[in-house]
Amino acid sequence: MGWAWEHAWSASTAEACAGGSSGGSSGGGSSGGGVTIPDEYFCAPVWKTGTLYTQGTIVDYQGIAYRALVDTHSITPDNTAYPDQWEPAGYPDEALCPVPIPNTIDYGEPQPVGGSVSAGVVNATGSIASARIADAQSSISGSKGGANPATDNGGDHGGLDVDNGARGTKLVPGSLPLQHNTYDLSAGTEIVTYIGDWAIYGRQYDFTKLPASNLNRIVYGFAGICYPDAKNEQDGGFPTSAPAAVMRTCNQSNLPDGAMAVADFEAAFLRDVGVAPNGVVGTESMYELDRTKVGGVFGVLYQLREQNPQLKLDLSIGGWTLSEGFPWMAHDPVRRKVFIDSVVHFLERYDFDGVDIDWEYPGSDGAVVGMAREDDGENYAILIREMRAAMDWLTVKTGKPYRLSSAIPAGLGRLQKVDWAQVHPYMDRLYAMTYDLTGAWEREISHHTPLYINPMATGSSAGTSANWTLTYLQSLGVPANKLMIGAANYHRSKATNTGDISEFTYGLTGSSSYGDSNWSGADLILGVAGLGSWEAGVIEGYDLYQNYLDSNMAPRNGFWLYTDKEANADYLYNDDIGAFISVETPRTVALKTQYAKDNGLAGVFFWMAEQDNGYNLNAVNHVLGNAQVANGSDASPQDQIPVCGRNVTSAECEALIAPLR
């Protein structure tokens, strides 16, 4: 019995065990009808009529644990009219089950945790070819998808996404060839990626093709908080169905306010996306499912983890559209305890390896205006401490360590809302979201995910870069080996007019003059957002290499590649139609990876896997020196990485990639 026997003996346990006449280790007792009950103990939910129990399921019926011999429905385990449906398996023991939601368990005090012990394990960077300049248009002509990037610069969208009026290519990545090589992960620098389960729908992404062998960890997005008053509208009046989806799971699972629930039950557990569910019908509580029988993206992830033993799985809670409930939950001790109880239950039931708190943002409004509270920073720190204590408690029970991470902002204003010196000791990783520094919410033209500061930037990206954010956090005492540098598998586009960029090389400088100068809020976003893939102003990685660049990094459809020497960042521009795209190329992601190695960071993480066709992840593995064991790409990272824009010389490009040598 181990931990459960020693630490969690309960009245229900005693009553259940009283059914055996012999007890101990002598082989069990009698059920009263002459049936021998094995002296074994199980987490066994109470049998309920109307429920389909698949073969092998264990239930509690009148104090005895029974095992289903076949798939069975509404037949009691003691029903003699239908024999061979059930067999006695032992006794139910609540202490072997995940914790109730809510409960009165005192999880104790949190203990500080260290960062990655492997951050210092560094391989030699893979070989890099000589620098070259993308100074000629690709020989590949034409475009793919529902829009023509050669003539359409975006702008004047009718809605935020392509299903609601935005113009975009609407390319289906599930129909495009992936370019992932296969690597043997030996470097100590971690590679982590977020995924979004919504990619199974319009994008038709096949999660069975995730390059799991090339990753250390996958973070699943998203779960939310049971918050009945959550708004189904984002800042600017843009609709979102995500909060209502969370509440459907909350209600279906009969969860109390403050509990955690997945946003899309069907995508997570039910739909056959490569792994079919076994007996899951879609009406169950998410906290009653057997993880060995789920389909959906969870089922695929379990399969990938089994095939790739190095792979870990985390659950992310929140994100841009599902963070409104955090201030409401975290400031109330009762709801905060419910939330933590639900996470502890989830980790044990679903055998995940960690949880990621993606609160956007403590003390600052995110998707919903007015959601932030003045005491958010305090409450965030309390939540992290109490979550750490609960996860440590669970480790004692299961013997398994659990990672507590948080996706955190990159800009000074939002970072100052939290006392990181008080928070970081209880966190395993901090994922610095060093992307989305600029976008269609402003006219200023700069880089959305630069390694270094663009000194000429104005607007939301001014004074901010990956290097600045990570240096600032370390100045507050956050260890480098807890920090993850963020890389983007998507690219932000803007509609412009000819001549809107005044400086291309020594600090990108410009401002879009497109459209009505009086636009603001939603009108501005929809007005100046460039052409997208599925969302106005957002071009996903696989689309970039179908319509804007070829496999040799040669530009297409009238666009040209440029390099900002100050920020060491790349961008695309088509001055003929007025179209700007801030991009993350194999070159820039390689430099971020080298930066992580050189500065002892825990690793590199991506938002998000299904947007990459493979080029960026190949580049990361190549720079980390992970041995390539199979070729799956139409281009080599050593040739894609050393490519700069037409505005610099080969010698200048060589200087920009010098850290990789």
Question: At 543, phi and psi to the nearest 5?
Answer: -70, -40
| Residue 155 CB-density burial (10 A; 0-12 exposed, 13-18 middle, 19+ buried) | buried
Computed over its alpha carbons, how large is the radius of gyration of the chain? 27
* Catalytic annotation, pick one of 360, 378, 540, 566: 360
Q: How far apart are CA 337 and CA 346, in angstroms?
A: 14
| Strand 429-432 versus strand 403-408 pairing type | parallel
Whose CA is closest to 35, among 77, 70, 69, 71? 77
Q: How far apart are CA 617 and CA 613, in angstroms?
A: 9
| Strand 132-133 versus strand 643-644 pairing type | parallel
Question: 3-state secondary structure string, 232-270?
Answer: CEECCCEECCHHHHHHHHHHHCCCCCCCEEECCHHHHHH
CB-based contact 1:41 (threshold 8 Å)? yes
Beta bridge mates, 192: 217, 605
Alpha-carbon distances of 302 from 183, 343, 421, 489, rounded to whole Å? 20, 19, 36, 24
653 C-beta neighbours (distance < 10 Å), count: 22
471 C-beta neighbours (distance < 10 Å), count: 12
CB-based contact 362:380 (threshold 8 Å)? yes
Whose CA is closest to 119, among 470, 481, 439, 435? 481
Q: How far apart are CA 34 and CA 169, in angstroms?
A: 70
Region of residue 585 (phi > 0: left; psi between -120 and 50: alpha; otherwise: beta): beta
| Residue 127 CB-density burial (10 A; 0-12 exposed, 13-18 middle, 19+ buried) | exposed
Positive or negative torsion for Cα 265, 266, 270, 271: negative
Can the peptide bond before residue 608 be classed as cis, meaning omega within 30 degrees of 0?
A: yes
Whose CA is closest to 329, among 369, 284, 386, 410? 386
Beta bridge mates, 494: 529, 580
- The answer for residues whose C-beta is within 8 angstroms of residue 655's C-beta and 6 or more apart is none
Question: At 438, phi and psi to the nearest 5?
Answer: -150, 160
The answer to whether 360 is a known catalytic residue is: yes
- The answer for residues whose C-beta is within 8 angstroms of residue 221's C-beta and 6 or more apart is 194, 195, 196, 197, 316, 319, 358, 608
DSSP conformational letter for 271: S
Alpha carbon dihedral 212, 192, 356, 389, in 10-degree steps, equals: 100
CB-based contact 262:286 (threshold 8 Å)? yes
Positions annotated as catalytic residues are 360
